[in-house]
Structure 1
Amino acid sequence: MDKFFISLERTPERTMRFLTANAHIHGLIHAPGIDGSKMDVDSMKEKGLVHQDCRFTLGALGSGLTHIALWGSVAKSGRAAHIFEDDAFLCGNFEEESARVLAEIGEDWDIVLWGNNPDTVLKVQALPEITPCVITFSQDDVRENIGNYANKKVVSQPLRLHHTFGICGYAISPKGAKSLLEKCLPLRNENVTYDSLGGRCIQTNSVDHLMNLSYDKIQAYASFPPLCLTDNMSETSLNK
């Protein structure tokens, strides 16, 4: 499987940090990404990629359309791929363990999240046909210890995914890419209610929010424990 990582050409320091943190991963392919600050938003709206009333930040538009472009490539090629953002830190045995997890799932999968933002919840089906589970993380602890993740050997399990936030790293199949392209385009603002957040209603403002509308309807999984962490520094996020 190809392993793409998204990092803007104007932020070479983030590219270098990603490659240094993940030097144990072979065959990483740089996807330069769409720089929202240089994007012709009106053109994107005319092409039907962005809704006329969409209020995403320019960074969120660029990030979202970069993921979507990679989904299009996966769908066209017929080959599944890994996609990472440049704030992803992969565990030491990522290549072996991700392959084992995918083999355990079998052929019928659409997307597997290897990690999520540590400042939010992860809702998964802990006991199939019995009960879901809501998992929380400590973002402060993740940030303090993330530099050691390349030395960690993680044994993970694929759990059916309900919703979460953040797409620091995931695997996507051609079938999943086609489905998410249909579900997430055009990029738009839509209100979503989350029972894991006490019934809070949140308006979508990035592509990972829109993906939450699909997870229950497709073969979506999350690996737990995660094989990929992010320090989730919002001030330097691709979505800014």
Structure 2
Amino acid sequence: MDKFFISSAQTPERAERFLAVNAHVPGLMHSPGVDGSTLDINEMKEKGLVSDACQFTREAIGSGLAHVALWGNVAQRGVPAHIFEDDAFLCRNFEQGSARIIASLPDDWDIILWGSNSDTPLQFELLPGITQCVAMVSDESVRKGIHAFRDMDVTSVPLRLAQTFGLCGYAISPAGAMKLIKSCLPLATVNVSHPCLGGRVIAAHSIDILMNRHYAEMMAYTSFPPLCLTDNVRTNSPTP
């Protein structure tokens, strides 16, 4: 499977760091993303990519469209792919672990998240159709231990995903890519209720929140424990 990582051409140091910390993973391909500062928003609206109701920042629009562009690539080629953001750290056995998990998924899988934002809840089915589980970890401990994680072999299992935030790393199938393109475009600021946050309603301000609306109705999975971590900063994530 192809492995793309999204990193802006305006911040080459981030791409350099990503490649350095993940040098143990072969075949990582740079996707320069979309520079939101240069986008013609009216043109994006005319193309059906952004709605009049979108209140995303330009940076968030660019980030969202960078993911959408790769979904289009996956859907067009008919071949699943891994997609990472440039703050992702992959465990030492990511290549073997992710391949084993994908081989174990049903043929109609849509997406599997290799990790998510550590400072937000992760809701999944611990026992299929029976036990909904919500996991939280300390984002401070993740940031402190993230370099040790890179040198760690992780034995993970796929579990049906209900809700979470963040897109540090995931694999997506052609069918999943088409579903998310149809579900998340045009980008719009809509109110989203999140049971894992006690029913709190959040106004979507990034594409991962829009995606979060649809995981439960898709063949969506999370790997637990994660094969991918991020040292993201708390203020970048929607938290309780």
TM-score range, shorter chain: over 0.9
Q: C-alpha offsets along residues 88-108 of structure 1, whole Å, 9 cap, x if unaligned?
A: 000000000000001111322
Q: How does 1:46-195 map to 2 (within 5 A)?
A: 46-195=46-195
Q: Establish whether residue 29 from structure 1 lines up as the match of residue 34 from structure 2.
A: no
Q: Tell me by how many angstroms 1:38 deviates.
A: 1.2
| Distance verdict in 2 for CA 1:134–1:166, change over 3 Å | same
The offset of 1:194, in angstroms, is 1.2
Rounded Cα–Cα distance in structure 1 between residues aligned with 2:203 and 2:123: 18
Runs of 4+ in 1 over 4 A off after TM superposition: 234-237
Amino acid at match of 1:123: Q
SS of the counterpart of 1:114?
strand
Verify the 8 A CA contact 2:119 2:234 in the aligned structure 1: no
Give the Cα–Cα distance (whole angstroms) in 2 for the partners of residues 147 and 63 of structure 1.
25
Equivalence for 1:225: 225
Q: TM-score, normalised by structure 2?
A: 0.96
8 A contact 2:74–2:174 mirrored in 1: yes
Q: Superposition RMSD on alpha carbons, in Å?
A: 1.2
Determine if the alignment matches structure 1 residue 204 to structure 2 residue 204: yes
Query: How far off is 1:236 after superposition?
Result: 8.7
Superposed CA deviations along residues 47-86 of structure 1, whole A, max 9, x for unmatched, are 1100012100111000000000000000000000000000
> Quick one: distance in 1 between partners of 2:179 and 2:96?
27
Aligned to 1:12: 12
After superposition, give the CA deviation of every residue in 1:181-234 in whole Å (9 maximum; x if it has no partner): 000000001111111111111011111000011111110000000000000136
Quick one: distance in 2 between partners of 1:137 and 1:99?
A: 25
- How far residue 120 of structure 1 moved from its aligned partner, in angstroms, is 0.3
Aligned-partner residue type, residue 201 of structure 2: C
* Count of aligned positions: 237
Which amino acid is the alignment partner of residue 52 of structure 2?
A: Q
1:150 Cα deviation (Å)?
Answer: 1.7
- Helix, strand or coil for the counterpart of 2:115? coil
Worse-matched range after superposition: 73-82 or 140-149: 140-149
Q: CA contact under 8 A between 2:5 and 2:30: conserved in structure 1?
A: yes
Calculate percent identity across the aligned residue pairs. 58
Amino acid at match of 1:16: E
Distance 1:86 1:209 in 2: 19
Q: Matched residues in 2 for 1:145 and 1:35: separation?
A: 31
Output the TM-score relative to the length of structure 1: 0.96
Distance 1:24 1:233 in 2: 25
Structure 2 unaligned spans of 5+? none
The Cα of 1:235 is off from its aligned counterpart by 7.5
